[in-house]
Amino acid sequence: MADGALEIAVAGESLRLHPGRALSWPRLRTLVVADVHLGKAHHFRQAGIALPRGGTEHDLARLDALVEASGATRLLVLGDLLHAGARDAPWRAAWQAWRARHVAISVELVGGNHDRALRAAPELARTLGLRLHGALLHEPPFVFVHDVDDAVAADAAGYRLGGHLHPVVRLPGLPRLPAFVFARDAGLLPAFTAFAGGLPVAPSPGVRLCACAPGAVVALPAPA
């Protein structure tokens, strides 16, 4: 694809994997991301860890480009939109500006472990322009969750898609790269935020790995 996206079939549906660490479902004009972690760098700076500013603006600019490239009318976040609290957080102005630029887009959140502030205050979610779901969202053939191994998710009927683990791979001559992982009954999205660690994953039988290389998503060969 011209934008570096990779088209794959999952559970009988055509999906596009974008190098910007997002997945789109063209049939429903839905863009899916996981682990945005708004305010994570600020949270670490408050703890005395020196980190550069501007991470939120950078991530939201990437989200701008993905909305345009995918033609999405809906953004679905699979948990951990936030990293910590939301009230009076310095990232809120940047988020509100992004929301104003995309007022016609529905933004929906499947709650993650870092989204407690939103679950506890639904009115706060509304001021941020969010529609909250519970621990899972069932849209056949998919079950959208945060943690695909959570007991509630594991009992759901459908192909589970989630995040939480921040999968990464290593390719010769390159730093670690965010990756999509597709097993028989569940798939993982990479962390959307550029400020995230990761769980190293390696090719294995029956599992498809797709790495977000610079400018393109690359399907890694399965082991013989």
Residue 220: the pLDDT is 94
Residue 88: the pLDDT is 54
Q: How far apart are CA 137 and CA 144, in angstroms?
A: 5
Tell me the domains of the chain and their CATH numbers. Answer: 6-219 (3.60.21)
Tell me the torsion sign for CA atoms 198, 37, 185, 182: negative
Q: How far apart are CA 215 and CA 15, in angstroms?
A: 18
Q: What is the pLDDT along the chain (224 residues), one digit of tens a residue?
A: 568 999 999 999 999 999 999 999 999 999 999 999 886 544 444 444 444 455 688 899 999 999 999 999 999 999 888 755 555 567 888 889 999 999 999 999 997 776 677 766 677 888 889 999 988 999 999 999 999 988 777 778 899 999 999 999 988 887 899 999 999 999 999 999 987 778 899 889 999 999 999 899 999 988 76
Whole-model pTM?
A: 0.90
Q: How far apart are CA 143 and CA 36, in angstroms?
A: 19
b/e for 40-49, b at 16 or more Cβ within 10 A? Answer: bbbbbeeeee
If you search the block for the tokens 């890694």, which residue do you land on?
220
- Identify whether the C-beta of residue 15 lies closer than 8 Å to the C-beta of residue 181: no
Residue 2: the pLDDT is 60
Residue 84: the pLDDT is 56
Residue 51: the pLDDT is 46
Residue 44: the pLDDT is 43
Residue 87: the pLDDT is 56
Q: How far apart are CA 189 and CA 36, in angstroms?
A: 11
Q: Which amino acid is present at 36?
A: V
